[in-house]
């Protein structure tokens, strides 16, 4: 079995075809998925899916790419994350690729999420793009990691260097690989995935984006996370069962979900 540790099935292009999406998950033995929040106006649609389907979990948070969106306070995040199906805080982090100018508001928003994570013990789902130095610095300054009394979390859709992965792992974070690692051009990232131990690894789709090979360019969905696992097993010369079992165990451990779920 596999778990998609990061998807956006509440987005309209996916939410209109849920029966098909659940069918594909079953076909490819993808048993659970984490539907990740990107802003507060859309958060109810994330929560609704988690409440309706036992195998869907959810997070609460505001993504760094949303500039014109209501800010969330640490108190709000703490309150909303008390729901039993809300297992993480995010997605949060920094993205200097998509936006320019003074991005102090992004860093402040990121700090707010880390504070809520520390207050609740719910792990962080961190997005970082063209901003790894500041991301790691703020994680350290705010004590995001389990090494500093924080709840840790996951560096999602990882595309950074091994150095960045190691810095995050030192803070107790997991590294999540998406379909990007399956792309022919992703040689550097494949070297990183070879070096990251399976014990620190999660797999994800980030659907509807970034479909893995052999579905590259099409709309992504949680059922396709099995292709990421298959690719990683070949890359790491590990049995596919080990990749499946370990990434599944890691998911339940990180998000503190009882195995009976």
Q: Which of residues 174-213 bind Zn ion (CB under 5 A)?
A: 206
Helix/strand/coil (H/E/C) assignment for every residue in 5-19: EEECCCCHHHHCCHH
SS3 for 183? coil
Spatial strand order in the sheet of 174-177: 2-7, 30-35, 56-60, 86-95, 124-129, 153-155, 174-177, 201-203
Closer residue to Zn ion, CB minimum distance, 59 or 182: 59
Closer residue to Zn ion, CB minimum distance, 113 or 127: 127
Q: Applying CB under 5 A, which part among 72-80, 108-116, 124-132, 239-247 lies near Zn ion?
A: 124-132
Q: Which of 113, 127, 227, 236 is close enough to bind Zn ion by CB under 5 A?
A: 127
Query: What residues contact 243, with CB distance under 8 A and at least 6 apart?
Result: 198, 203, 229, 232, 233, 236
- With binding defined as CB under 5 A, does residue 118 bind Zn ion? no
Q: Which residue's structure tokens are 């108190």?
A: 75
Q: How far is the CB of 260 from Zn ion (least distance, A)?
A: 28
Q: Which residue's structure tokens are 């079995």?
A: 1
Closer residue to Zn ion, CB minimum distance, 160 or 206: 206
Number of residues this chain uses to bind Zn ion (CB under 5 A) = 2
Helices 187-195 & 162-170, crossing angle to 10 degrees? 30
Q: Applying CB under 5 A, which part among 26-34, 96-104, 125-133, 215-223 lies near Zn ion?
A: 125-133
Q: How far is the CB of 69 from Zn ion (least distance, A)?
A: 15
Q: How far is the CB of 241 from Zn ion (least distance, A)?
A: 28
Q: What is the binding site for Zn ion (CB under 5 A)?
A: 127, 206
């Amino acid at each position: 079995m596999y778990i998609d540790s990061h998807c956006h099935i509440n987005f309209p292009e996916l939410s209109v075809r849920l029966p098909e999406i659940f069918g594909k998950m079953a076909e490819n033995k993808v048993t659970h998925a984490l539907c990740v929040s990107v802003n507060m106006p859309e958060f109810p649609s994330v929560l609704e899916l988690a409440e309706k389907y036992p195998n869907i979990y959810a997070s609460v948070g505001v993504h760094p790419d949303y500039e014109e969106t209501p800010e969330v306070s640490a108190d709000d995040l703490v309150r909303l994350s008390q729901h039993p199906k809300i297992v993480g805080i995010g997605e949060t982090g920094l993205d200097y690729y998509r936006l320019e100018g003074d991005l102090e508001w992004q860093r402040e928003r990121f700090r707010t999420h880390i504070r809520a994570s520390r207050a609740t013990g719910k792990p962080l789902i961190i997005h970082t793009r063209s901003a790894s130095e500041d991301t790691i610095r703020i994680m350290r300054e705010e004590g995001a990691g389990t090494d500093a009394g924080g709840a840790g979390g996951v560096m999602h859709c990882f595309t950074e260097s091994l150095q960045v992965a190691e810095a995050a792992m030192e803070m107790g974070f997991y590294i999540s690989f998406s379909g990007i690692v399956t792309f022919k051009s992703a040689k550097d990232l494949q070297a990183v995935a070879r070096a990251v131990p399976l014990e620190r690894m999660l797999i994800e789709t980030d659907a509807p984006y970034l479909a893995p090979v052999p579905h590259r360019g099409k709309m992504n969905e949680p059922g396709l996370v099995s292709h990421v696992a298959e690719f990683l097993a070949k890359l790491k010369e590990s049995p596919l069962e080990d990749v499946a079992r370990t990434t599944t165990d890691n998911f339940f451990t990180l998000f503190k979900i009882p195995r009976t779920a």
